[in-house]
Amino acid sequence: VFMVRLSRSELHSSVDDPVLGSMSFLNGIMSRYPDAISFAPGAPYSGFFADLDVQRYTDRYLDYLVDVEQHTAAKARRMLYEYGPSRGLINGIVCEALRRGDGITASPSATVITAGAQEALFLALRVLFPTGGQNVLAVTNPCYMGIVGAARILDIPIVPVAEVADGIDVDSLEASCIAARDRGQRIRACYVATDFANPGGSRMSRTGRQRLLDLAARADFLILEDSPYGFTVAEGDELPSLKALDTAGRVIHIGTFAKVCFPGARVGYVIAEQPVGDGGRTLADEIAALKSMVTVNTSPLGQAAVGGFLLEHGGALADANRRKADHYRRSLTCLIDALDRHLGTGGQSPVSWNRPVGGFFVRMQIPVVADLALLDISAAKYGVLWTPMSLFYLDGSGDCQIRLSCSYIDTTQIESGVERLAAFLKKEIGL
Ligand SMILES: Cc1ncc(COP(=O)(O)O)c(C=O)c1O
């Protein structure tokens, strides 16, 4: 039988992009070393899944459709199993939870429920970047792979901007805006993770947030705000989101229920209230129109699970979040303490790490190149996995850094994982 052989050069350039390759490598390495302790995935702690009861949430959501939205029981059932509106089903419940929990006021019709935050990022980029224009996307360096991958698939050029402890370096971003203008380009949008960025761990201060909003107005760009780790903040230490501070319609706010509910539901959302043209349409309308040609609608079953989960928590996520936030902060503290005990030598050590107060990630500097070959040695000989930070940098830097995630494993595993990591660094690098 003659099988057609395709040439890579005839496929879209993104299939050869290192970002897409790294993602599958990382997914693969966990299955190649199933017994290794993994500081690699930014996935939520699976111990939380034991309490989930999808059937109960679905029933709860069905009751809501009947009691609150006044559908008949038969119609409510059909809504779960049929195709649904591209904009989503649980928009009202999500907006109410955001109003109570995050101080974000958004209208359900300006919100689109997406297949995770990833689809929201993808669709927002597609809508905002016209074909063949001179528009570029600014992102922090290092940056979350999901936005880089989406931009590559969409042929959107990226400008990396330095990340400091306060998040994106607003002065460098301003310089990038000017440089882009001088090249005949313009920064159309800037992607930022406001709280405890993945992978850098940075958190924007209140002043930093305001400065970014001011620059967006001055330099005329939109902000894609993504904050999946904001919920891990300690009580009383919360900062307003960019969306909550935005008075000029510069922010497109993207969220996910992957970490606070469960990622398998594949439910996220985008709030895009910006008016488009004079006909009363909003950016959310355009995003929903594109979505109807990509995933058609977000699975009603996933939405019912998340909707019911939110309703069960009184329509707000505060309590559910609090328990999880406390867990993740304990894990983060455990990781940092273990690093201090096993690898800290009072500032003299050739390894060092940052100390974020929330989120899932610690960034460690080591004195050798942390590439995939070194990761293989770490996994095969020492049974510990981590992520090379160079995968997240867009300018070839960060090659002597690793990312350690505390989210996927429990504190006992974190403790033995750090012991293994210390043994690996001491033996292989001669610390
Ligand atoms: C910064 C950031 N944004 C978005 C996502 C993706 O979220 P979702 O699973 O909802 O697509 C992740 C997941 O790890 C993330 O770290």
- CA-CA distance, 212 to 138, in Å (whole number)? 12
Q: Which atom of ligand 1 is found nearest the CA of 226?
A: 3
348 C-alpha vs ligand 1 centroid, how far in Å? 36
Structure tokens, 114? 């997406």
Pocket test for ligand 1, best of 114, 198, 259, 391 (most atoms within 8 A of CB): 198
Q: What is the pLDDT of residue 336?
A: 97
Q: What is the pLDDT of residue 22?
A: 81
Q: What is the pLDDT of residue 30?
A: 86
- CA-CA distance, 279 to 200, in Å (whole number)? 42
The tens digit of pLDDT for each residue in 267-307 reads: 999 999 999 999 999 999 999 999 999 999 999 999 999 99
Residues in the chain with pLDDT values less than 70: 346-347
Mean of the per-residue pLDDT values for the chain?
95
304 C-alpha vs ligand 1 centroid, how far in Å? 20
Q: What is the pLDDT of residue 347?
A: 67
* CA-atom Rg of the chain in angstroms: 22
Q: Which residue ranges have their beta carbon within 6 Å of ligand 1? A: 42, 116-118, 144, 146, 193, 198, 226, 228, 256, 258, 263, 268
72 C-alpha vs ligand 1 centroid, how far in Å? 36
Pocket test for ligand 1, best of 144, 192, 241 (most atoms within 8 A of CB): 144
- CA-CA distance, 70 to 78, in Å (whole number)? 14
Q: Whose CA is nearest to atom 16 of ligand 1?
A: 198
Q: Which atom of ligand 1 is found nearest the CA of 193?
A: 1
The answer to whether the beta carbons of residues 223 and 8 sit under 8 Å apart is no
Q: Whose CA is nearest to atom 10 of ligand 1?
A: 116
Q: Whose CA is nearest to atom 4 of ligand 1?
A: 117
Contacts of 373 (CB under 8 A, 6+ apart): none
The tens digit of pLDDT for each residue in 350-362 reads: 899 999 999 999 9
426 C-alpha vs ligand 1 centroid, how far in Å? 34
Q: What is the pLDDT of residue 192?
A: 98
Q: Whose CA is nearest to atom 7 of ligand 1?
A: 117
256 C-alpha vs ligand 1 centroid, how far in Å? 7
